[in-house]
């Protein structure tokens, strides 16, 4: 079953993290490589519009939501082991913030510092009634989405993740099968409505140079983003009900298990490509897709092979060691290695 827990991990969450990472790099590559502004009525412009219709503002909400789920699970499991989950999580956030400060020097739009601050703000909500967290999170997200406050939307998205953790949705996904299906259908209808609204104001032709029109198009994308993200999550859960799909998509699960490492290394690979191949300021948006494909191949293979022999990704291991103040075992025992 999809909700099977491997050790203390929930497989479904790793699949979803990996899925989110695949989308995030598509957007980050364009900004980090300073891609040329696309010219109207070109293939490059068509790809740019694809990015801002289906990718930008659709995958970071998934990752943010999952961070909230992970926050709840981390504290809860620490308490079960007799540890002070809140203190440990604060230490975890401090380490994340430090990594974020370093990462920010190379990727100004990075998310780690924002996540660490938002996590600290939301720490008291761990003990708040789950219905209150759910309702408050939805209302806050709707309001901030309407005003396209992208950075502030991190807080309600993370809060909804905490609420999902409190409801134990991902541990008991089979029990919520009908609810998830109904939810996905509703989000599909709302997503299509959002797409129609955004397509209605999509810049093109002479409007491509109209910054006001373009900004209106981008803001609309931010507004409808969480709804589309919710549909993506529901659709992925549906796909992963099939054992065949889970097996075929297994590399994405490994990708998600090493999300911290892969997120940081995405920046490294993009910057290396920009420097060694002289791509920065000399690349079209469509060409950034080729860079992302190369990164996919490298990281999916590396994640799968690495986790065959080791318990944690390299940066996940460092993060865990600094959080707990001890060196966790890294290499799997022979009996743990699949044959």
Percent of the chain topping pLDDT 90:
85
Q: Using alpha carbons, list the distances in angstroms from residue 5 to 11, 91, 235.
A: 6, 25, 21
Mean pLDDT of 272-289: 94
pLDDT over 70 at 245, yes or no: yes
pLDDT in tens, 137-163: 999 999 999 999 999 999 999 999 999
pLDDT over 70 at 276, yes or no: yes
pLDDT over 60 at 49, yes or no: yes
User: Whole-angstrom Cα distance, residue 276 to residue 290?
Assistant: 15
Provide CB contacts within 8 A for 211, sequence distance 6+: none
pLDDT in tens, 110-140: 999 999 999 999 999 999 999 999 999 999 9
**181 exposed, middle or buried (CB, 10 Å; 0-12, 13-18, 19+)?**
middle
Which among 63-77, 163-177, 193-207 has the top mean pLDDT? Answer: 63-77
pLDDT in tens, 70-123: 999 999 999 999 999 999 999 999 999 999 999 999 999 899 999 999 999 999
Sorting pLDDT into bands at 50, 70 and 90, what band is 172?
confident
């Amino acid at each position: 079953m999809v909700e099977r827990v491997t050790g203390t991990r929930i497989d479904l969450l790793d699949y979803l993290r990996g899925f989110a990472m695949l989308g995030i790099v598509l957007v980050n590559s364009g900004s980090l490589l300073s891609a040329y502004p696309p010219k109207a009525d070109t293939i490059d412009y068509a790809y740019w519009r694809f990015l801002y219709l289906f990718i930008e503002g659709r995958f970071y909400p998934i990752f943010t939501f999952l961070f909230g789920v992970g926050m709840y699970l981390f504290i809860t499991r620490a308490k079960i082991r007799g540890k002070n989950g809140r203190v440990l999580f604060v230490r975890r956030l401090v380490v994340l913030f430090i990594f974020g400060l370093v990462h920010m020097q190379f990727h100004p739009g990075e998310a780690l510092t924002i996540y660490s601050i938002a996590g600290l703000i939301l720490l008291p909500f761990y003990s708040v009634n789950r219905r209150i967290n759910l309702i408050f999170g939805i209302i806050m997200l709707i309001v901030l989405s309407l005003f396209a406050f992208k950075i502030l939307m991190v807080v309600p998205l993370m809060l909804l993740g905490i609420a999902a953790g409190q409801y134990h949705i991902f541990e008991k996904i089979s029990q919520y099968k009908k609810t998830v299906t109904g939810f996905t259908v509703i989000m599909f209808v709302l997503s299509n409505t959002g797409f129609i609204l955004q397509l209605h104001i999509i810049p093109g032709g002479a409007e491509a140079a109209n910054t006001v029109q373009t900004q209106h198009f981008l803001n609309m994308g931010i507004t409808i983003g969480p709804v589309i993200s919710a549909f993506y999550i529901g659709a992925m859960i549906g796909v992963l009900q099939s054992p065949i799909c889970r097996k075929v998509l297994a590399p994405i699960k490994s990708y998600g298990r090493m999300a911290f490492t892969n997120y940081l290394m995405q920046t490294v690979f993009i910057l290396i490509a920009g420097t060694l191949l002289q791509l920065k300021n000399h690349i079209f948006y469509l060409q950034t897709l080729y860079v992302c494909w190369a990164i996919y191949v490298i990281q999916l293979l590396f994640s799968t092979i690495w986790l065959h022999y080791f318990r944690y990704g390299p940066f996940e291991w460092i993060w865990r060691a600094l959080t707990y103040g001890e060196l966790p075992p890294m290499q799997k025992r022979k009996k743990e290695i699949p044959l």
